[in-house]
């Protein structure tokens, strides 16, 4: 019998992210505590740009954006939010979206699978994702449970279970 496999990926659904940003922009435009502070949320290329007149206000805008991402089912581990920095008369925060698993995290996940998963399970790094294989589907499901319980800095999805 052939090995069963699944892939471990870390991807952000672009449409869900766009919807979350649009909802956050609408809320920031309507909320009374953001009136007159120049608060805004917008896409700038591959990043989300938050602006406001003070350090505290831009952090409040970040909270609104994060809450909208959570409501849309996108993990905050997928967001790479920088620190507020002054730009002219306003403060800004740039948020990047993390797509793919970098080499460092892929090696950490591979080591976790080798050390704690059932012995029949093998993993290999393929670009920005991992392929996990085993003869036993039960062992693969046990590995998925193990990875979900692990405290990793990456939002993981499990796809192509065959």
Domain edges within the chain: 4-11+101-159, 14-97
Where are the alpha helices (H) located in the chain, listed in sequence order?
14-30, 55-71, 103-116, 137-149
Model confidence over 8-38: pLDDT tens digits? 898 888 888 999 999 999 999 998 988 888 8
d(CA 63, CA 58): 9
Q: Do domains 4-11+101-159 and 14-97 have the same CATH topology?
A: yes
Q: Are 132 and 159 in contact, with CB atoms under 8 Å apart?
A: no
Nearby residues of 162 by Cβ (< 8 Å), 6 or more positions away: 4, 5, 6
CATH code of the domain occupying 4-11+101-159: 3.30.70.860
The confidence score (pLDDT) of residue 23 equals 94
Residue 135 DSSP label: S
The confidence score (pLDDT) of residue 1 equals 55
- The pTM assigned to this predicted structure is 0.83
The confidence score (pLDDT) of residue 64 equals 93
Model confidence over 56-111: pLDDT tens digits? 999 999 999 999 999 999 888 888 888 998 988 899 999 999 888 888 889 999 99
* CATH class given for the domain over 14-97: alpha beta
Nearby residues of 76 by Cβ (< 8 Å), 6 or more positions away: 66, 69, 70
């Amino acid at each position: 019998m052939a090995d069963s496999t699944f892939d471990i990926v870390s991807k952000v659904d672009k449409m869900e992210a766009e919807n979350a940003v649009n909802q956050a922009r609408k809320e920031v435009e309507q909320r009374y505590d953001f009136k007159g502070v120049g608060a805004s949320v917008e896409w700038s290329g591959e990043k989300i740009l938050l602006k406001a007149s003070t350090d505290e206000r831009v952090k409040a805008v970040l909270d609104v954006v994060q809450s909208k991402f959570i409501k849309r089912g996108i993990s905050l581990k997928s967001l790479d939010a920088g620190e507020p920095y002054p730009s002219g008369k306003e403060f800004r925060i740039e948020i990047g979206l993390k797509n793919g698993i970098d080499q460092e995290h892929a090696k950490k996940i591979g080591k976790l699978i080798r050390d704690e998963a059932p012995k029949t399970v093998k993993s290999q790094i393929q670009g920005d994702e991992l392929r996990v294989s085993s003869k036993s589907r039960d062992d693969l499901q046990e590995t998925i449970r193990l990875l979900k319980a692990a405290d990793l800095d990456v939002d993981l999805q499990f796809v192509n279970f065959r």
